[in-house]
């Protein structure tokens, strides 16, 4: 094989003369300065335009080139009638028009099929597994296993296509002809959804009900200033669902071609099984995405009303079943899920359509107007084609009428003509008719050379004249052409009209989900250790428990009687505070280590806890004692947030290491110790409140060079025999060294 390939390549090599070789070598490696603008214009812009015009953006007939090539191939294969054939065969035939490969062609067929359920009116009738638009995991079978043919509505796509209604061009290798557009008899561009992403632009057209679109087009034909919302109620999706109707949003989309609206799932509550069955979902999501999101919310304990969720999709169609816990209100739960999952989602519209090769974003009225111009041109071309054939036939019959005057003469001329090539000229001379008329007469069979046959042909002359007059009358009148379109639209409604699938729900009448977190209200004891472990224990459990289990070297530094609804603020050694609630932690016992706060609240790397504050109304103050002898007093309200923020930066000053922090509501006294043993008792009222959290504070203890504060704790009655001597009249103060036997105890521990 390698030798054969090498020989083939050798045969195709290019022979250069020595001068060309030298010129090539001299130019290799040369850097040519070229403006990037000209490079983009010459290289990228043609590619961008090709994607826009020939691939991603639909045209006024409602199709992209890939759609049109596939459907036309199926039409030429005779698949409007008869049985389905293998999809692989169709994809192979389509490759004569579409050079992008059978996989891309088959994917296009899948999206147009009724089995995939992506279109309100599928153009391909399918047999086999074509996957589902609402499922990410239910993919189609290979093309060799499935079969397809054109659906009955496809008849409307090719009506009169053989009567010069649209232009035909060469395919990519100029071996076949293909239509530039399809002569659709209804505004298919607005009936079936179409989405495409080009270079620098995109298109996203929502589907509308066929009956409503046709009625709206008829109303527009009669009155261009008609109110579109009277007949075109709202978009309609193949999967159904509920559309939250906002008149201003819909009118804006109809006017500008841009905007969005909300679509949500529909559900049924089965009281006997205490479960919710979801059977219709928005077109922008999948059943797997919904299930995964609900499971994730359950794991995060944001949704606690669900026992189980499963996908029960089967032959009857989509179904997601949610088993509820006892006593759960299904309607309230669904309002919650609508807000937190894609069970309610926004469909964004961008009606970008190619008009004469140029992309235009248009409103519904403009699209209908452009489609009418296109359809009127199709009908004019069809009428002109029919008129031309009728005129030619009339001309032939008028020649035959002259022959009727003397059939024997015609026979005599043919009989007496010696050469066959002279028959037509002799007939032309003998009856004063032109070549086309004489050719027709010469081709009449011998059995038809009788008066009866010729009289029957001549009877058609009057009918032809009436038909020609009618065709000419229609061609001269736009009103009559529009009447033809109206009749076609009425016929389409009669044959293919369906009731709406998507229910219209007025948004202002629908209740919105307001998240109300019901936190159990009960007393509890909170314990916090030096190493950052936290325990929440109920009074009953505490009374029946023994000693606390702690890590070696760890000790409890805070014990607080609190409520399960209280908020917790954990200050770290990185000047940050992490907010949580007591309810976020499970009740536990003294026999366990508890929750490790840096892990539970996802602290940064190498970040540790320093202090825990517990509050219910953010009253009082935070006191921060720093190593440099300064103390900051911050209003607790500075840590209150309207949103549910979990982490606040710059919770206190980072200019000096934090020795200790205290949450106080009333006037308190704090003992501050420096490295050489001096103590100072500080009354918190002596410090002014600061508005910024990261204030450096005020100097409280005078420190000699190289000295620093090493400890701070709340003063308890009886800690010192003579506490008055440690209280300073003015700040900053140096503090006092304890006299011998004066210190009765150290900071109390639990």
**Residues designated catalytic:** 145
Beta-sheet strands, E only, within 180-303? 194-197, 202-205, 242-245, 258-264, 266-270, 275-280
Contacts 24+ apart (CB under 8 A), 549-557: 549/590, 549/591, 549/592, 549/593, 550/593, 551/593, 554/529, 554/530, 555/529, 555/530, 555/749, 556/527, 556/528, 556/529, 556/530, 556/749, 556/750, 557/528, 557/529, 557/530
Q: What is the DSSP letter of 158?
A: S
Handedness of CA 725, 709, 568, 632 (dihedral sign): positive
Residue 491 CA to residue 480 CA, distance in Å, equals: 17
Residue 263 CA to residue 207 CA, distance in Å, equals: 13
φ/ψ of 44, rounded to 5, equals -85, -40
Residue 630 CA to residue 696 CA, distance in Å, equals: 7
End-to-end CA distance of the chain: 87
Contacts 24+ apart (CB under 8 A), 259-263: 259/348, 259/349, 260/346, 260/347, 260/348, 260/349, 261/234, 261/235, 261/346, 261/347, 261/349, 262/344, 262/345, 262/346, 262/347, 262/507, 263/237, 263/344, 263/345, 263/346, 263/347, 263/502
Question: Using an 8 Å Cβ cutoff, are 182 and 172 in contact?
Answer: no
Q: Quote the tokens at residue 458.
A: 């001549």
Question: Using an 8 Å Cβ cutoff, are 187 and 364 in contact?
Answer: no
Distances (CA, A) of 342 to 229, 284, 308: 27, 8, 18
Distances (CA, A) of 603 to 606, 608, 661, 733: 8, 8, 19, 37
Q: What is the DSSP letter of 235?
A: B
């Amino acid at each position: 094989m390698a030798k054969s390939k090498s020989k083939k390549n050798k045969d195709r090599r290019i022979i250069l003369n020595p001068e060309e070789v030298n010129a090539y070598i001299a130019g290799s490696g040369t850097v040519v300065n070229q403006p990037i603008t000209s490079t983009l214009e010459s290289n990228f812009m043609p590619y961008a335009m090709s994607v826009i015009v020939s691939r991603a953006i639909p045209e006024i007939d409602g199709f992209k080139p890939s759609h049109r090539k596939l459907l036309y191939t199926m039409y030429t294969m005779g698949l409007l009638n008869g049985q389905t054939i293998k999809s692989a065969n169709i994809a192979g035939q389509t490759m004569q028009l579409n050079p992008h490969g059978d996989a891309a062609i088959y994917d296009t067929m899948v999206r147009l099929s009724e089995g995939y359920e992506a279109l309100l009116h599928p153009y391909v009738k399918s047999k086999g597994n074509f996957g589902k638009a609402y499922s990410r995991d239910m993919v189609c079978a290979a093309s060799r296993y499935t079969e397809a043919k054109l659906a009955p509505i496809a008849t409307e796509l090719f009506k009169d296509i053989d009567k010069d209604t649209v232009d035909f061009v060469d395919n990519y290798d100029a071996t076949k002809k293909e239509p530039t557009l399809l002569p659709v008899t209804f505004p298919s561009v607005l009936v079936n959804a179409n989405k495409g992403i080009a270079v620098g632009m995109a298109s996203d057209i929502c589907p509308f009900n066929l009956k409503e679109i046709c009625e709206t087009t008829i109303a527009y034909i009669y009155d261009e200033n008609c109110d579109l919302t009277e007949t075109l109620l709202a978009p309609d999706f193949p999967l159904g669902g509920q559309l939250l109707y906002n008149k201003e949003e819909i009118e804006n989309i109809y006017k500008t071609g841009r905007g969005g609206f909300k679509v949500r799932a529909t559900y049924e509550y089965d009281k006997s099984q205490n479960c919710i069955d979801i059977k219709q979902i928005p077109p922008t999501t999948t059943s797997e995405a919904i299930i995964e999101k609900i499971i994730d919310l359950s794991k995060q304990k944001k949704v606690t009303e669900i026992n189980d969720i499963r996908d029960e999709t089967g032959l009857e169609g989509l179904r997601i079943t949610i088993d509820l816990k006892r006593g759960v209100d299904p309607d309230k739960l669904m309002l919650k899920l609508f807000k937190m999952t894609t069970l309610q989602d926004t469909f964004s519209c961008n009606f970008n359509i190619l008009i004469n090769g140029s992309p235009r974003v248009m409103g519904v009225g403009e699209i209908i107007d452009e489609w009418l111009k296109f359809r009127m041109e199709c009908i004019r071309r069809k009428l002109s084609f029919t008129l031309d054939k009728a005129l030619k036939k009339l001309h032939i019959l008028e020649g035959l009428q002259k022959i009727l005057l003397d059939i024997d003469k015609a026979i005599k001329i043919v009989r007496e003509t010696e050469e066959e090539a002279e028959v037509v000229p002799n007939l032309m001379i003998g009856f004063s008719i032109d070549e086309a008329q004489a050719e027709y007469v010469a081709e009449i069979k011998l059995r038809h050379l009788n008066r009866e046959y010729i009289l029957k042909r001549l009877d058609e002359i009057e009918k032809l004249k009436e038909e020609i007059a009618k065709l000419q009358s229609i061609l001269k009148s736009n009103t009559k052409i529009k009447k033809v379109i109206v009749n076609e639209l009425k016929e389409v409604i009669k044959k293919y009209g369906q009731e709406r699938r998507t229910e219209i729900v007025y948004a202002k009448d629908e209740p919105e989900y307001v998240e109300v977190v019901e936190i159990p209200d009960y007393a509890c004891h909170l314990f916090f250790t030096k190493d950052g472990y936290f325990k929440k224990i109920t009074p009953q459990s505490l009374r029946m428990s023994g000693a606390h289990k702690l890590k070696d070297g760890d000790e409890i530094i805070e014990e607080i009687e609190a409520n399960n609804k209280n908020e917790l603020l954990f200050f770290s050694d990185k000047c940050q505070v992490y907010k949580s609630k007591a309810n976020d932690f499970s009740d536990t016992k003294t026999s366990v280590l508890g929750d490790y706060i840096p892990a539970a609240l996802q602290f940064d790397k190498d970040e540790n806890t320093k202090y825990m504050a517990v509050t219910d109304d953010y009253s009082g103050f935070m006191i921060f004692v720093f190593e440099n002898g300064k103390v900051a007093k911050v209003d607790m309200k500075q840590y209150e947030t309207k949103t549910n923020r979990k982490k606040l930066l710059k919770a206190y000053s980072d200019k000096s290491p934090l020795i200790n922090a205290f949450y106080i509501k009333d006037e308190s006294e704090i003992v501050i110790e420096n490295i050489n043993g001096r103590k100072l008792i500080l009354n918190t009222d002596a410090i002014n409140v600061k508005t910024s959290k990261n204030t450096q504070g005020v100097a409280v203890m005078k420190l000699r060079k190289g000295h620093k504060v090493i400890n701070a704790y709340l003063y308890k009655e009886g800690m010192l025999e003579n506490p008055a001597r440690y209280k300073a009249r003015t700040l900053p103060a140096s503090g006092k060294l304890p006299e011998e036997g004066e210190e009765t105890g150290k900071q109390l521990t639990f």
